[in-house]
Amino acid sequence: PPGVPHYLTHADLSSRQIYNLLTSAIQHKHNVKYLDVKSGQPLLGKTLAIMFSKRSTRTRVATETAITYLGGQPMFLGSQDIQLGVNESLLDTSKVVSSMVGGIMARVGAHSDIETLAKYSTVPVINALSDKYHPTQILADLVTMHEMFGPQPKDDSSYVAHLTHPRETLPGLKVAWVGDGNNILHSMLVTFPKLGVHLSVATPKGYSPSDDVVKIAMDEAAKTSTEVSFTHDPKVAVKDADVIVTDTWISMGQESEKAKRLQDFAGYQVTLSLAKEGGAKPDWKFLHCLPRKQEEVSDEAR
């Protein structure tokens, strides 16, 4: 219904809203991991339905831990517990579940599924992954980049990322994507230009990102004077990169395409030689949303 705030894609958010999410996450991390400060339980008495039609390890653990820390009750509903759009329509699922919980976090297949859930839900819906976007993963990447390129702590027992705003560390960085034109790349495209983070994309022919997502990225880049470029040559993409990122070449549901994809992605493995020959910055960093495969990144580069 109109007026219900949902979190489906960063294409819907302003740079200020994205920065607010980042600073909140960074402060919570400092509080819980380094100060042992309680959250104040702002979600006390609230239940979050965690509806995953696609399995996950990190996303599930992070979500259940975070909701518990905030005082809420996580309710995990896997594919065997609730079959989205199979035995019951998405419309009915959304209306019924949202009438009994404080929020829904859904990991789905088609992005249209998360949009339908949000359309009929009376509580906020969070996109934990769809085939088009994965916004929470990009938040984690941005927090990591802020920690890597901001002031460094004296030792592992201290934390200083919360003392500097991400607005001071992220703009001007260059990220090189080497891989598939998938949901992770889509989320980077609709996020990074808003924050002034340059993005250079290398995908094999036939694996380019969606045109509508590229248009959003280019429109935002024009507003912030950010560089967004596309190539089929990984060495071109990593030129002057601060960060090189890749992801799985074979996502869930694409297993039958494995042989063809491995052939099409030949030369796309992230290696130290690729970074050196392409001219990445000497102190470049590597990101992968895991689990990583040997063909995607060499052992010495990860």
Residue 197, token pair as written in the block: 């983070």
Instruction: Measure the CA dihedral 83/126/247/60, to 10°.
Output: -60
d(CA 151, CA 83): 46
Residue in 188, 180, 202, 178 with CA at minimum distance from that of residue 258: 180
In 3-state terms, what secondary structure has residue 62? helix
Residue 132, token pair as written in the block: 């088009």
Residue 180: Cβ-neighbour burial (10 angstroms; 0-12, 13-18, 19+): buried
Q: Is 289 a catalytic residue?
A: yes
Contact 296, 270 (CB under 8 A): yes
Chain centroid, CA 77 distance in Å: 22
Residue in 10, 2, 22 with CA at minimum distance from that of residue 168: 22
Alpha helices in 131-173 (DSSP H): 135-149
d(CA 213, CA 215): 5
d(CA 41, CA 52): 25
Neighbour order of strands in the sheet with 198-202 = 228-231, 198-202, 174-178, 243-246, 285-288
Instruction: Measure the CA dihedral 230/205/128/114, to 10°.
Output: 100
Q: Which of 224, 289, 293, 298 is catalytic?
A: 289
d(CA 127, CA 133): 8
- The catalytic residues are 289
